[in-house]
Structure 1
Amino acid sequence: MLSIRPLVLALTAALAATLAVHDADAAKKKKAAPAKKAPAATACTDFYAFSNADWLKSHTVVAGDGSVSALGEMRERSLQQQRDLLDAAMRTPQGNVQKLLGDFWASGLDEAAVEADGSKSIAPLLGRIDAIKKAKDIPPSIAALHQVGIPVVFNFSPDIDLAKFDRHIGYFSQGGLGLPDPAFYTRGDADTKALMARYTDYVKRILTLTGTPQAQLDADTKSVIDLETRIAQASKPLTSFRDPRTNYAPMAASALGKQYKRLQMAEFLKAQGVSNDTVSLANPQLFAQIDNLVGSLPTAQWKAYLRFQVGNAMAPYLSKPFRDAEFDFRGRLLRGETAPEPRWKDVLDAINTAAGPMLGREYAARYLPAATDSRAEAIAKQVRETLAANVERSAWMSAEAKAEAKKKLNDLKIEVGTPNRDLDYSVQPMGRGSFGGNMLIASTWRHREEMKRIGQNNADRRWDVLPQQPALAYDIAQNRLIVTAAMLQSPVLDMGKDAATQFGTFGALVGHELSHAVDIKGRLVDAGGGLKSWWTPADDAAWQDKANKLAAQYDGYAYPDLSGVKVNGRQTSEENMADLAGVELAYQAFAGDASANTEAGKQAFFKAWAGLWAQENSAEAAKVLAASDVHAPGQWRANGPLVNQPAFGEAYKCKATTNMQKAPAEQLSIWR
């Protein structure tokens, strides 16, 4: 229900695609059927298969788009942990926040109560829409829906001020459409027409469920499609959001009221609790169009549009007819799902959407011991210090770039577990009678807390990921490493394992992310937070030379589970470079531990790295990943960096003539 913040998403490099690989079939995994015996992999022929032999034997996927991975299993475990926490909060809540969460959870799991409640929770919203009489009544209704977390007509949300990264300002951006891409409304090809026909049917179903009279259905459905089409025609292509700078257009909020009089923008901001005088509005043509539509379209058309938007946004949280309509269109058609998720997962998703920070606070308190937090921070600091030392002695980086890189690394913050939030957890009591009502209460709370950030110099007190979601990321805007509570468990950081394993997993992932502070992406933001490149042309040329050679290495790798397909070394280049950097940095940081001097310790480090990337993909999933994923498949994320590590060859006694070790003169390095 809440709008997406494209700027920070574009500015943050994260270990996201790895965890987003489809693991829908993980629960259906079966023991692999016996296959023809092939020569067993050795450490020097295929280290990935050698290290993960037991895992690969015990995991397989069913036909379709299924995938199973070691990191995906960790994500599934984090979902179960959240479920267990909410079950406990439902039975015996400890404190006010758990009472809120427990009631929210109970109201969603009680399907009989959800059916009995029907669409009563949205009746007040629909009643307000029905009361619209004149054009001047439309903007207050738009503002009221934004307040409860239903952004209609356009999006308005806090995001970082690109002129001052520690501050949030309010961004007016395009939105208000029931389909994900404005192009769907304007393209004329057969596939798009077929999709629009299905969407028209969906609009009609939702309008019916919100109480639109039968005699009015066809006309109101056409009204909704027509208004959305007009908005889409003035919207930018989705590709324009790739560069955050093109969507940054600061202006005085006081000028909005004069520029878009019918939209009553000053009153809109006041309703959201925003008093800051600077906002960003990068598509004035769109808002001019909307302003004109408020005054030129019949109020009946606006009422039909707003009724649909309420029903569409709330459909997953209401009775079964609403949920069925939403799943038939969005689930089956747009997301390609064959069946709805189990009820508990849908309810958990709703809670994370509307009350995610509340759940994150309780999750970290329950599942992140202080010792784990401290260990993670200690390893991360060691890796950061190792990177700083390597920058200092780098043979390819210029003196100017080294100076700026050292400043960035010296100022780089490490945040583990949860963000330094300053949220107000006072919320209207929820109760267990209305899941839809609780969703609106929680969404109103989250919207209120988000709006408070606008105009404040507290961008560093906010993450764009929840503590209960596994993530490890370098935030380029705030120059910080973010490690969520859910990430600090096996196989990433297992407190029951030795230092070799911890550095081979968590340390290498930290090195991967920290390398982004000073790599081809990190060079775009200087130590002071300015958007400018601090590399010299020689630095850029040296990096590109390394990247080209590594891309050629990965171009030679066969894509697992696909016949005749190779890894795309260019597509995966930046992440392959970060993987290489991560292994180099973590191994050097590990060298300070006593076990680094033993053969067993060295072998454990590399085996831990390979274990992170265990995965099985169906052919269908592999095709999608090969075409779109910016990460190499697991086999080559494991093996690719290791062929360039002399320490790996020494640990497993692999000669340069084997698959797993390049000749010394051919080995690539970034920070070694």
Structure 2
Amino acid sequence: MRSRKPTPRPTALVLSLLAVLALPPAYARAPVACADFHGNTNAAWLETHPLAPGTAQVSALGELQARARQQQIDLLEAARNAPGDDVQKLLGDFWASGLDEAAVERDGANAIAPLLERIGAIRRDRDVAPAIAALHQVGIPVAFNFSADVDLADLTRHVGYFSQGGLGLPDPAYYTRSDADTQALLGRYRAYVEQILALTGTPADALSEQSALVVDLETRIARASRSPADLRDPRSRYALVPVDGFGKQYKKLQLEDFLEAQGVQAQQVSMADQALFQTLETLVDDLPVAQWRAYLQWRVGDAMAPYLARPFRDASFEFRGRVLEGLTAPPSREQQVLDAINLAAGPMLGHQYTLRYLDDATAARAKAVASQVRAVLGEALDADTRMGADAKAVARSKLAGLQIEIGRPQRDLDYSLQPMGRGSFGGNMLIASTWRHASEMRRIGQANAGRRWSVLPQTPALAYDISQNRLVVTAAMLQSPVLAPGDSEASAYGAYGALVGHELTHAFDARGRYVDDRLELRDWWSAADVTAWNGMAERIARQYSALAWPGLEGIQVNGMQTRDENVADVAGVELAWRAFGKAQPDAAKAEKQAFFEAWARLWAENAAPAEATRRASIGVHAPGQWRANQPLANLDDFGGLYGCRVGAVMRNKPEDRISVWPGLTPSE
């Protein structure tokens, strides 16, 4: 062993230098907390998560999504190898059939052969409507869409919605615009239609004629359809009409029989665009049966292409993936199969996911923290001087009725469906899609809207459901960096609690004002309430508009475009900070700092210039740096805790400080 020589005692300057050199490179270059808290807190993460070639963005919440996907894959692998019950057997067989690419190739297009045979048997116009109904039953909507959704006149129940659909292109305008780019896209679409028709049995010498018939029929539907902008307001898609009389009004479409085929016995449905359905009625009557056969054949092939043999998958990806979505390569086979299972059997997988990955203690903790943030919001509403007496009464009542639902929706699933084997992935897809469609149809006419979530439990999500006045927190959301077993109370409130506060604020903001405490659609704010809220919100918008978009030269955050989400971020931190103070009144300085660090870690991200430019142009959220920093710069307690001078980047001057819930500041 070599002897050690005496080491001179270093100076304070040398100690400081050694401390910096001993840290990872990211920390060596980390911004000062009072100049950029996001960069300071996330320095190591930002250094160790560079963008891989071809990657648009990496983020902490993106990692959470990737982990949830892997958990689903692990669950399905376990179900494939050692299923514990009948449901796991179903899921395991579904998964195995999709991963067995050799079996998929052997199966070819066998899964859709019965559907194609049914379409081929259409001889008269009266045969068209039953074929349309049969395809809807297996989850392939053609000619139009029919779905279950909340009744806008009674948000506690579901009604059936007849709406436009049946097109292979995402916007009706693609069929009618005459500019060169649209015409080029339409030409590529026509070529794709020909590919699918060829794969589904159309002879080569008839492909050009048959594809022309398909595009012509879709163009006629498109001309009778409305633009996406016209449909943005849900009220434009809602109009209850009696089912009685459908038999006479829609003799060719046979909509009364259609509803019976879907298992729907409701006396009313929504049909906001009766002119469209009159057009469809005329098309069934006037167009040759051969044209309808070609169209239905194409729609089956296109809808099922991702689940069939490689020629189908390749054709679908080349147009839908590469041309329409701009993808350079298809997802991995695992991801494709997982997407299919979530589409067709998502609630089934979600139930199993929750049982496996969400423990009772974490769910109870999530409920407790959210309840405490909700209680603080009650204090904020009581102290709010913006709201008039009438609005405040509605707000208090609305908050009292606001429910917190954790993990998965509390509803029973009916697992009665045809058994799945491992020989036909396409066949299993149709079995599962039929089950999912029937499950949706059973909602119609029922007062069960409160038992439905619009998001699957295996998808990370924490959201306020405006139609049901509830906070929904999925099982997949309750893990790092949001809320994980072992997280300190400070971290739980700083990350999860602030997200809860963000979402609960939406119940009482410029969006929440349109649904009242009785779940009725009406504006419960007065003109003075609107003016007061907008005054605060516009100050926040101006504040964010002064911020540069990270990584982009000469581009600022669009404060008006991101206004409502920025307001909710500021509000969420305020509410969670107060709730943490009440839960841990004697918290040490390090614990308080852990609160803010947990918030900042949520927004760690690196984005490519093209992705950043896209988000700056159309996104409703500010970039991660400002989602982390700006709410803290408005909260004087943060600046005081970190010793930031007044007027520093992370500690706004009093006249520049904005509070969404001013009754909560200063903290106790």
User: Structure 2 length normalisation: TM-score?
Assistant: 0.94
Q: Paired residue for 1:298?
A: 288
Q: In structure 1, what residue type is equivalent to 2:652?
A: K
1:126 equivalent among 96, 111, 116: 116
Which structure would you say has the larger Rg? 2
2:635·2:651 contact (CA, 8 Å) conserved in 1? yes
Q: In structure 1, what residue type is equivalent to 2:255?
A: M
Tell me, yes or no, if structure 1 residue 480 matches structure 2 residue 470.
yes
1:148 equivalent among 116, 126, 138: 138
Tell me, yes or no, if structure 1 residue 42 matches structure 2 residue 32.
yes
Whole-angstrom distance in 2 between the partners of 1:595 and 1:359: 42
Unaligned runs of 5+ in 2: 1-23
1:65·1:621 contact (CA, 8 Å) conserved in 2? no
Task: Out of 211-220 and 152-161, give the one that drifted further.
Answer: 211-220
Whole-angstrom distance in 2 between the partners of 1:502 and 1:169: 39
Deviations 1:146-170 (A, max 9, x none): 0000000000000111110001000
Q: Paired residue for 1:645?
A: 635
> Shift of residue 422 of structure 1?
2.6
Deviations 1:86-114 (A, max 9, x none): 00000010111100000000000000000
Deviations 1:391-428 (A, max 9, x none): 00112222211111010000001100000123211111
Deviations 1:437-462 (A, max 9, x none): 00000000000000000000000111
Q: Paired residue for 2:193?
A: 203
Whole-angstrom distance in 1 between the partners of 2:139 and 2:526: 46
Tell me, yes or no, if structure 1 residue 513 matches structure 2 residue 485.
no
> Shift of residue 255 of structure 1?
2.5
Tell me, yes or no, if structure 1 residue 339 matches structure 2 residue 353.
no
2:484 equivalent among 479, 490, 494: 494
2:25·2:47 contact (CA, 8 Å) conserved in 1? no
> Shift of residue 596 of structure 1?
5.4
> Does the residue aligned with 2:245 lie in a helix, a strand or coil?
helix
Tell me, yes or no, if structure 1 residue 399 matches structure 2 residue 389.
yes
2:126 equivalent among 108, 132, 136: 136
> Does the residue aligned with 2:507 lie in a helix, a strand or coil?
coil
> Shift of residue 280 of structure 1?
0.5
Whole-angstrom distance in 2 between the partners of 1:36 and 1:108: 43
Q: Paired residue for 1:27?
A: none
1:238 equivalent among 228, 251, 270: 228
Q: Paired residue for 1:4?
A: none
Tell me, yes or no, if structure 1 residue 431 matches structure 2 residue 425.
no
> Shift of residue 63 of structure 1?
4.6
Whole-angstrom distance in 1 between the partners of 2:434 and 2:647: 63
2:588 equivalent among 598, 617, 635: 598
Whole-angstrom distance in 1 between the partners of 2:595 and 2:114: 59
Deviations 1:578-629 (A, max 9, x none): 0000000000110123365321111111111000000000001101100011
Whole-angstrom distance in 1 between the partners of 2:278 and 2:321: 34
> Shift of residue 471 of structure 1?
0.5
Deviations 1:62-83 (A, max 9, x none): 3546100000000000000000
Q: Paired residue for 1:66?
A: 56
Q: Paired residue for 1:554?
A: 544
Whole-angstrom distance in 2 between the partners of 1:156 and 1:372: 38
Unaligned runs of 5+ in 1: 1-33
Q: Paired residue for 2:4?
A: none
> Does the residue aligned with 1:158 lie in a helix, a strand or coil?
strand
Q: Paired residue for 1:372?
A: 362
Tell me, yes or no, if structure 1 residue 462 matches structure 2 residue 452.
yes
1:422·1:461 contact (CA, 8 Å) conserved in 2? no
1:360·1:468 contact (CA, 8 Å) conserved in 2? yes
**What is the 5 A alignment of 1:10-409?**
40-64=30-54, 66-409=56-399
Whole-angstrom distance in 2 between the partners of 1:71 and 1:596: 31
2:516·2:524 contact (CA, 8 Å) conserved in 1? yes
Compute the RMSD of aligned alpha carbons.
1.3
Whole-angstrom distance in 1 between the partners of 2:388 and 2:600: 33
User: Structure 1 length normalisation: TM-score?
Assistant: 0.94
Q: Paired residue for 1:16?
A: none
Give the percent of matched residue pairs that are identical in Structure 1 and Structure 2.
58
Whole-angstrom distance in 2 between the partners of 1:417 and 1:263: 42
1:65·1:620 contact (CA, 8 Å) conserved in 2? no
1:210·1:311 contact (CA, 8 Å) conserved in 2? yes
1:87·1:102 contact (CA, 8 Å) conserved in 2? yes
Whole-angstrom distance in 1 between the partners of 2:196 and 2:351: 35
Q: Paired residue for 1:607?
A: 597
> Shift of residue 657 of structure 1?
2.6
Deviations 1:256-303 (A, max 9, x none): 222211101110000000000110111111111110010111100000
Q: In structure 2, what residue type is equivalent to 1:508?
A: A
Task: Out of 346-355 and 530-539, give the one that drifted further.
Answer: 530-539
Whole-angstrom distance in 2 between the partners of 1:440 and 1:64: 34
> Does the residue aligned with 1:597 lie in a helix, a strand or coil?
coil
Deviations 1:635-666 (A, max 9, x none): 00000111110110121111113110011232
Deviations 1:204-242 (A, max 9, x none): 000000011112111110000000000000000111121
Whole-angstrom distance in 1 between the partners of 2:26 and 2:357: 43
> Shift of residue 40 of structure 1?
3.8
Q: In structure 2, what residue type is equivalent to 1:280?
A: S
In structure 2, relative to structure 1, the CA distance for the partners of 1:595 and 1:344 (3 Å cut) is farther
> Does the residue aligned with 2:443 lie in a helix, a strand or coil?
coil
> Shift of residue 538 of structure 1?
1.5
> Does the residue aligned with 1:577 lie in a helix, a strand or coil?
helix
> Does the residue aligned with 1:170 lie in a helix, a strand or coil?
strand
